């Protein structure tokens, strides 16, 4: 049972990573997230990115919180995978 839960959690983390990456790419074309897809990506990913942004120092126009969030998700995915074995 633990293996299935870990597998599901890893799949969710992979999906969230993909959405955050898509948000980063999409922000180049629609920086205000005013399109329908942009709003959906923003609404799904902002609750994950916002806490990271709050603890990150401000680098002006460069928002590294997306990059840091992706790294944190990779670390979490690795921890879950190694806990199962």
pLDDT tens, position by position, 11-51: 999 999 999 999 999 999 999 999 999 999 999 999 999 99
Q: What per-residue confidence (pLDDT) applies to 59?
A: 83
Q: What per-residue confidence (pLDDT) applies to 84?
A: 83
pLDDT tens, position by position, 72-85: 999 999 999 998 87
Q: How many domains does the chain have?
A: 1
Query: Any bridge partners for residue 59, and if so which?
Result: 62
Q: What per-residue confidence (pLDDT) applies to 1?
A: 55
In the 8-state DSSP scheme, what is residue 30? -
Q: Looking at residues 49-67, what average pLDDT do you find?
A: 90
Reported pTM: 0.89
* Domain span at 35: 2-84
Q: What CA–CA distance (Å, rounded) separates 41 from 20? A: 8
């Amino acid at each position: 049972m633990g293996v299935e839960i870990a597998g599901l959690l890893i799949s969710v983390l992979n999906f969230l990573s993909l959405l955050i990456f898509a948000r980063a790419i999409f922000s180049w074309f629609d920086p205000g997230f005013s399109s329908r897809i942009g709003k959906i990506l923003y609404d799904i990913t902002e609750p994950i990115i916002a806490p990271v942004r709050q603890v990150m120092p401000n680098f002006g126009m460069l928002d590294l919180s997306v990059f840091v969030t992706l790294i944190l998700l990779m670390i979490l995915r690795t921890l879950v995978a190694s806990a199962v074995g």
